[in-house]
Amino acid sequence: MKFLERRLLHAILLLIGASLLCFLFSTLAPGSYFDEMKLNPQISSATVAALRSQYGLDQPLPLRYEHWVKSVLHGEWGYSFAYNLPVRGLVVVRARNTLLLTSLAAALAWLIAIPLGVWTASRPGQWEDRLSMAGTSFLLSVPELVVALGLLYCVIRTHALPVGGMVSADHDSLGLWGRVRDLSAHLIVPVATLVLASLPILIRHVRASMMEVLQAPFIQSARGHGIGRMTLLFRYALPAAANPLISLFGLSVAGLLSGSLLVEVISGWPGLGPLLLEACLSRDFYVVVGVVTASTLFMILGSLLADVMLAMADPRVRMDNV
Amino acid sequence: MTSRRKVIGASSFLLALHLAILFAGFIAPSDPASQNRDFPFAPPTRLHFVDAQGRFHLRPFIYQTEPAPEGLYEYLENRAQAYTVRFFVSGPKYKVAGLLPLHTHLFGVDSPAQIFLAGSDSYGRDQFSRILYGGQISLAAGLLAAGISLLLGLLVGCVSGFYAGWIDESAMRLAELFLVLPWLYVLLAIRSFLPLHVSPAETFFLLVAVIGTIGWARPARLIRGIVLSAKMRKYVTASRGFGASDAYILRRHVLPHAYGTLLTQAALLVPQYVIAEVTLSFLGLGLSEPMPSWGNLLANLQQYSVLVSYWWMFLPALALVLVSLGYLAVADAFHQQLQSGSM
């Protein structure tokens, strides 16, 4: 329990650090959302000043930060200038969509990577192994941007799947089964992009750590006892190779999150990515801070989850940290 | 031996790519900004080797592209006259690496024909030339940003590994913070805080500085680890006994251990940062027209009509893939070399 507490405290400190950093960077900004209003002759400069003070933009940085922290504790997360709404409502809806996308992609990517990595590790140098190495090398050097654009091209060309958004226009009129089908049709392109982009690293890591374990003496002796190939690989070798992979799981969440920004923008998925891009272009400061903090929260949760899983899987880790 | 050959192979591939991009002016047949409003979205010009009489020519020739009588953005070849591709022709002026003014181009055709090796964009600008010139911007951004990251990482890593104590502690906590930040989100956020409308050169350096500064944490951690293990060596203690200064020990005995890692990190960071620049420019937060960069060349594809109809607008992506393929191969080869302990 002590272990979990320490990790949680660490996570909270990191979150505070991230939001502080955001505020610090914002002081570099020469302009703000209301600057464009100054160009409009119908709005007096007094109105602009009043708006600025209403949103607390005329206050010094420490005060602004304090104000923001209070607003987070009230469950508002600051106020969006462009939407004229509390940020939390905006971010939570979008974050849910991003979470749906990334968690599906993460699950799928690992489901593919583990068998493939184990299989290629069990036959090093064979044609399957070489093929997978060549494939991963190639995929590794194709950026997500290109994968997303390529998939989008195929989809638009073949009219196989709906493009853009999360649901079709007639979504509400469909039955439950129809809704699920509609949603999954929209999910295919972004999920496939994320899986393709994250797969090569995962396969390589699974293969590398399996290779290492397969050379251990206990595998030799298990083989000598006549234990079947599949049992040997998945029951004996994989758990022994799991530690670095569990740590990688935390990192892979991070990679997926950064990747999903781009994929969401390109395939029109209403997640955090498009919201952040919009807020960046219109300098909607609190939305930017809210999105960055939310995505940092996801990353921290990812690594926290990995830590907890690691502690459950390996008693040595638990002992070290107490 | 084989790993050495790999290093040489991958590096020479990469070198060739960089030279092609550095001498973009020489290789590109036309100016990246010159527009041909009569030829928007012209497809790549076909190189012919066999003429109408069925004779084979070793030197390729092309037919002039002409707008089709009906249909928008459709083109035909005018087979009436063949234009041979000539080498070392004189064309629009350019500067080699921004210094040496020249007007000889590697290849070209006689006017009025025009050669679009990779098609043309919506303003009829030669896509092939734009890819080469765009590479200058994108690669320079990647290289400079990687330089900044490595320099910062080297500095922080050396200081915190060598002096330990509270400096080390606080630097590593900060590194942890930077590692946990989702870098693309932060990049966008910081970019949004910076002025949106500034001169292209300023944007370029701002972009490079931001991309480079965010990525300091990973190299810093790696360098710190190396410094920590190197400073425990006996010869370091010995040279300290002889009265060597910290700077001398760092330079002479500690840093040589870090060169291999630095090179590998550089080979990994450059493509990552090139992609970062491309991503930002693609999203409209990086470099903007008329400056060509791979990002804003690819940004054309944001219109579905362009994405579906004109496959040659994907070609900048091919250049991007080739560059990252080259860098990753070099990083891989360095890594193997490092593991085998011969570097």
For the stretch A53-108, pLDDT in tens is 777 677 777 888 888 888 888 877 877 877 878 888 888 888 888 988 998 999 99
Percent of chain B with pLDDT over 70: 97
CA distance B116 to chain A (A): 23
Q: Enumerate the H helices of chain A as residue ranges.
A: 2-26, 35-38, 45-54, 61-73, 87-122, 127-140, 144-158, 176-214, 217-224, 229-230, 238-267, 272-282, 285-313, 315-321
Q: Give A321 or B211, the one with higher predicted confidence.
A: B211
CA distance B20 to chain A (A): 20
Q: What is the pTM of this model?
A: 0.85
What is A96-271's CATH number?
1.10.3720.10
Compare CB distances from A142 to B193, B285, B321 and report the shortest one's residue. B321
- At residue B101, what is the residue type? P
How much is the mean pLDDT over chain A?
82
**What is the helix (H) or strand (E) element at residue B193, kind and residue range?**
helix B183-193
ipTM over cut 0.85: no
The mean per-residue pLDDT over the stretch A124-139 comes to: 87
**What pLDDT shows up at residue A322?**
43
**What pLDDT shows up at residue A29?**
60
Query: Which residues of chain B does A156 touch, with a Cβ-Cβ cutoff of 8 Å?
Result: 304, 307-308
**What pLDDT shows up at residue B156?**
92
Q: Which of A3-17, A189-203, B12-26, B199-213 has the highest mean pLDDT?
A: A189-203
Per-residue pLDDT for B313 more than 50?
A: yes
Q: pLDDT band at B145, cuts 50/70/90?
A: very high
DSSP assignment string, B135-186: HHHHHHHHHHHHHHHHHHHHHHHHHHHHH-HHHHHHHHHHHHHHHHS-HHHH
Compare CB distances from A258 to B183, B192, B329 and report the shortest one's residue. B183
Q: pLDDT band at B343, cuts 50/70/90?
A: very low
Least confident of A8-12, A141-145, A159-163, B254-258: A159-163
Beta strands in chain B, from DSSP E residues, in sequence order: 48-50, 56-67, 75-84, 86-96, 100-108
Contact B320 A17 (CB under 8 A): no
CA distance B49 to chain A (A): 31
Domain regions of chain A by residue span: 96-271
Contact B271 A141 (CB under 8 A): yes
Q: pLDDT band at A309, cuts 50/70/90?
A: confident
Query: Which residues of chain B does A257 touch, with a Cβ-Cβ cutoff of 8 Å?
Result: 182, 185
Q: pLDDT band at B341, cuts 50/70/90?
A: low
Question: Contact A241/A114 with Cβ under 8 angstroms?
Answer: no
Q: How far apart are CA A189 and CA A101, in angstroms?
A: 10
Tokens representing residue B24 in the block: 């973009």
Q: How far apart are CA B193 and CA B206, in angstroms?
A: 11
Is residue A148 within 8 angstroms of chain B, CB to CB?
no
Question: Contact A159/A110 with Cβ under 8 angstroms?
Answer: no
- At residue B327, what is the residue type? Y
- At residue B336, what is the residue type? Q
Contact A146 B320 (CB under 8 A): yes
Is residue A258 within 8 angstroms of chain B, CB to CB?
yes
Residues of chain A numbered 160-189 and touching chain B (CB < 8 Å): 163
Q: How far apart are CA B212 and CA A106, in angstroms?
A: 28
